[in-house]
A and B are shown apart, each in its own frame.
Chain A
Amino acid sequence: MKKLNDEEIQRLLEHNLAEAGRKDIPADDNDLQMYQLLFTELAKEPQVQLKINLSEEVVRRIQIRKDAKEAFRYYVAVTAIIIIGFIYACIAAFTFNPDTVTMAFTIILKYKWILIFTLISFLIIQLLDKTLVKRV
């Protein structure tokens, strides 16, 4: 009886022909037995157990990213509104009363630190509100 080579045995097992009981396969073929054992082990699932609940953890991380994106959009929108409002006020003042613009800039320069402090405080309060306050 012809002895099968490695390639033939592998092809045979890939097609599960061994189980179908082929007559030309010697039952005591050592290589075939080795390969059969190997194929059985290769099909076994590895014993990997994750400590986390994968779906819960993935959804939690996606939610954090979504929240961060939303927060970023919110701050961009607030900043844009403030800038546009300021430009609009300047244009309006310059159109109707140019002296007011000069006066406004003088006041802004005079109280610049108070204005900067107010702006930073506002942003910090907004940031703390987003991070510390838990929404129900």
Chain B
Amino acid sequence: MQNEEEIISRILAGDMQAFKILVNQYEKLVIHMVSRLIQNKEDIEDICQDVFIKVYKNLAGFKFQSKLSTWIAQIAYGTAINHLKKTSGKKSRTLAIADFENSHTTNDNPEYLLSKKNTSEFIHKEIEKLPVQYRTVLGLYHMNEFSYQEIEDITGMPAGTVKSYLFRARKLLKEKLEVYLK
């Protein structure tokens, strides 16, 4: 892996090959983050591209005060959230936190029963149903291995809120898993 400062200075000097290296290095992070928040595959592609275009445009303003991954994740989070806000007029599959936690409906529809064949698939389907804040913190903490402080920097949620969302999201998922495995 090349030195980040060196890659950034090459990009700022107009080297597009260096920018391709940077995109390849961080595309997993961005794809995982965006796909946790947005379910439509075409939207994911568009948003991932927008994120890296923003990274390119704002790279001169990156002053190494945080890790580059945190900075890129911050842009990815902002872009995905803005997209969700724009499309919130359309019927969303995701409930708000309060609504989600108050809804304890039993899912016995055929689609749900079919998903029971696979524990992993079941868990990931349940994650998709979680409120956006829960999915965000779960993804950032478990998949991308960001610390509470870094998640605060990325999302703007206080570290205490991040901790509390993480706890509640895991507890909810554990309860669902218990019912499923009974």
Contact = CB atoms under 8 A, between A and B. Distances in A.
Please classify how large the interface on chain A is, using the bins under 10, 10 to 19, 20 to 34, 35 or more. Answer: 20 to 34
Nearest to A59: B16
B159 interface: no
Contacts of B45: 50-52
Interface stretch (B27-35, B76-84, B108-116): B27-35
Contacts of B120: 41, 44
B119 to A, nearest CB: 7
Given A10-B170, A57-B49, A62-B56, A39 B44 contact: no
Interface stretch (B63-71, B150-158, B173-181): B173-181
A31 B160 CA distance: 24
A57 B143 CA distance: 25
B167 interface: yes
B20 interface: yes
A19 B43 CA distance: 39
A107 interface: no
Interface of A: 6-7, 10, 30-31, 34-35, 37-39, 41-46, 48, 50-52, 54-59, 61-63, 65
Interface of B: 16, 19-20, 23-24, 27-28, 31-32, 35-36, 41, 44-45, 48-49, 52-53, 56, 119-120, 123-124, 127, 138, 142-143, 166-167, 170-171, 173-174, 177-178, 181
